[in-house]
């Protein structure tokens, strides 16, 4: 519970911090959790309490909170060249090397990279690139962007318009021209008697119908997360991306894979597109790109978009877009080390090795009569709370069930994330089997405690 003394950390946080994406009734009752440091997958608060962070920060601290190599890479670069930009044909050597590495580990034989400070800015940048192409290539009406309901692509005005979440209505979003298809969640959106294959066919037809209705000549691109992350960890139905990409190719519409969460190992492969066997026209990267040790995003362009954007930029002698910290040398040095750590220090191998145990833990939680679905891919998963399992009836919203579960977990030294009626797990790639047992045991105890009160 919160400490309400005037100089407490909780009171100081309330006095000067404006909370984002935070359940304010919980903070008002319990106070903020103010952290001081981390060790491996654990974090510690100002009162000395230890928490196993099953969120790995915000999906991104995959190498843990005290990886010496990542910290050293940042320190060494700060000593050598602490900051610069990537404007006017000037950039750091680290930026050049990172671009080379990103194309090397991408699915593309060649391409180019544009840097931002976050995944939101990277998605925003990609939209501007597509709009730029439309105008440059004589298709000024080609501005509409297609995404999916419950998909998450960021918080800038453009990327929030792409995000298919109802909370953006409070900002008067989405902007005009941002279109949202059915969420590809078979368990929740599949119709009675509809097979998974038929669900996929219906979603592909919905896309075809939308393109026909709106006009292919007005659509600039289709953005999709391989697994919806902040939508509640929703893997696609079988054959989804093959069916969708066939429709998009027929109409010449680029497919952009938003790999902010899935990229660099979360699904067990370098890219979620690799996991689901499709070839995007561009990739959006962030989070694991630096293992959370530096804010950075990147647009990784495949060969066709590279050539088209280069031609459009050559015609006006520049691409008039960028950020002060684009290609920051410290961020690039950290990213180079993070990629090496993930790919060459056994982290991805550990993801693959732990996935069966992770899936077994999710299945174990599904035995609870108030868990309607357990789902996931690689080391990202979710369990969905329901009042009635047979009918998939959710709990009443005023009960805030997932928030109660997350708060109860926190009381027992486990951090997990509530999303709608689901609780999400996305542990660090360095997690051990005993730590995974600890995670599932504490979550199970929290589920039983909360369901006893509300079911």
158-170 pLDDT, tens digit per residue, is 999 999 999 999 9
Instruction: Give yes or no for residue 5 having a pLDDT over 90.
Output: no
- How many residues are given for the chain? 455
pLDDT digits (tens, 9 = 90+) for 308-325: 999 999 999 999 999 999
Return mean pLDDT, the chain: 97
Indicate the Cα dihedral angle 396, 397, 400, 402, nearest 10°.
80
pLDDT digits (tens, 9 = 90+) for 9-42: 999 999 999 999 999 999 999 999 999 999 999 9
Q: What is the predicted pLDDT for the residue at 59? A: 97
pLDDT band at 373 (very low <50, low <70, confident <90, very high): very high
pLDDT digits (tens, 9 = 90+) for 163-219: 999 999 999 999 999 999 999 999 999 999 999 999 999 999 999 999 999 999 999
pLDDT band at 455 (very low <50, low <70, confident <90, very high): confident
Q: What is the predicted pLDDT for the residue at 198? A: 98
Q: What is the predicted pLDDT for the residue at 273? A: 98
Q: At what angle do helices 196-214 and 240-251 cross, to 10 degrees?
A: 20
pLDDT digits (tens, 9 = 90+) for 415-445: 999 999 999 999 999 999 999 999 999 999 9
Q: Residue 314: CB partners within 8 Å, gap ≥ 6?
A: none
Q: Average pLDDT for residues 347-362, to the nearest whole number?
A: 98
Percentage of residues in the chain having pLDDT higher than 90: 98
Q: What is the predicted pLDDT for the residue at 412? A: 96
Q: In what helix (H) or strand (E) does residue 424 lie, and over which residues does it extend?
A: strand 422-425
For residue 36, the SS3 value is strand
Q: What is the predicted pLDDT for the residue at 197? A: 98
Rounded Cα gap, residues 35 and 72, in angstroms: 22
Instruction: Give yes or no for residue 2 having a pLDDT over 80.
Output: no
Q: Which residue has the higher pLDDT, 6 or 367?
A: 367
Q: What is the predicted pLDDT for the residue at 6? A: 84
Is the distance from CB of 447 to CB of 370 less than 8 angstroms? Answer: yes
Is the distance from CB of 264 to CB of 339 less than 8 angstroms? Answer: yes
pLDDT band at 1 (very low <50, low <70, confident <90, very high): low
Is the distance from CB of 202 to CB of 161 less than 8 angstroms? Answer: no
- Taking the CA of residue 277 as centre, how many other CA atoms within 13 Å lie in the half-sphere pointing to its CB? 5
pLDDT band at 3 (very low <50, low <70, confident <90, very high): confident
Rounded Cα gap, residues 287 and 193, in angstroms: 39
Which two tokens mark 75? Answer: 């320190």
Token pair 């010449």: residue: 252
3-state class percentages of the chain: helix first, strand second, coil last, to nearest 5: 45, 15, 40
Rounded Cα gap, residues 379 and 356, in angstroms: 10
pLDDT band at 255 (very low <50, low <70, confident <90, very high): very high
């Amino acid at each position: 519970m919160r400490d309400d003394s005037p100089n407490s950390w909780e009171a100081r946080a309330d006095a000067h911090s404006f909370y984002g994406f935070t359940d304010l009734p919980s903070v008002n009752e319990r106070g903020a959790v103010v952290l001081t440091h981390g060790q491996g997958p654990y974090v510690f608060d100002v009162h000395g309490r230890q928490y196993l962070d099953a969120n790995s920060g915000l999906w991104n601290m995959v190498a843990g909170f005290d990886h010496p190599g990542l910290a050293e890479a940042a320190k060494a670069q700060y000593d050598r060249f602490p900051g610069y930009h990537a404007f006017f044909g000037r950039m750091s050597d680290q930026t050049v090397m990172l671009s080379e590495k990103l194309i090397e580990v991408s699915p593309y034989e060649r391409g180019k990279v544009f840097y931002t400070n976050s995944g939101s800015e990277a998605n925003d940048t990609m939209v501007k690139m597509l709009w730029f192409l439309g105008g440059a290539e004589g298709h000024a009406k080609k501005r509409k962007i297609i995404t999916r309901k419950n998909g998450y692509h960021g918080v800038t005005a453009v990327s929030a318009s792409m995000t298919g979440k109802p909370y953006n209505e409070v900002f008067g979003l989405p902007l005009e021209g941002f279109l949202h298809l059915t969420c590809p969640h078979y368990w929740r959106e599949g119709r009675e008697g509809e097979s998974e294959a038929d669900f996929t066919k219906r979603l592909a037809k919905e896309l075809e119908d939308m393109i026909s209705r709106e006009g292919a000549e007005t659509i600039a691109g289709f953005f999709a997360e391989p697994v919806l992350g902040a939508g509640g960890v929703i893997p696609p139905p079988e054959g989804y991306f093959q069916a969708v990409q066939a429709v998009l190719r027929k109409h010449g519409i680029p497919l952009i894979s938003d790999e902010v969460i899935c990229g660099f190992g979360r699904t067990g492969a370098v890219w979620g597109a690799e996991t689901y066997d499709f070839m995007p026209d561009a990739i959006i990267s962030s989070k694991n790109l630096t293992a959370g040790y530096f804010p950075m995003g990147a647009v990784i362009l495949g060969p066709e978009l590279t050539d088209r954007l280069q031609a459009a930029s050559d015609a006006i002698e520049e691409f008039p877009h960028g950020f002060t910290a684009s290609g920051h040398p410290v961020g690039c040095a950290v990213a180079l080390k993070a990629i090496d750590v993930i790919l060459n220090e056994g982290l991805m191998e550990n993801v693959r090795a732990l996935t069966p145990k992770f899936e077994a833990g999710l299945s174990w939680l599904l035995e609870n009569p108030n868990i309607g679905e357990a789902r996931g891919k690689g080391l990202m998963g979710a369990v969905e709370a329901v009042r009635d399992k047979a009918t998939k009836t959710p709990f009443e919203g005023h009960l805030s069930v997932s928030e109660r579960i997350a708060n109860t977990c926190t009381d027992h030294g486990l951090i997990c994330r509530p999303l709608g009626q689901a609780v999400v797990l996305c542990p660090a790639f360095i997690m051990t089997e005993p730590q995974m047992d600890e995670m599932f045991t504490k979550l199970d105890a929290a589920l039983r405690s909360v369901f006893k009160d509300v079911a």
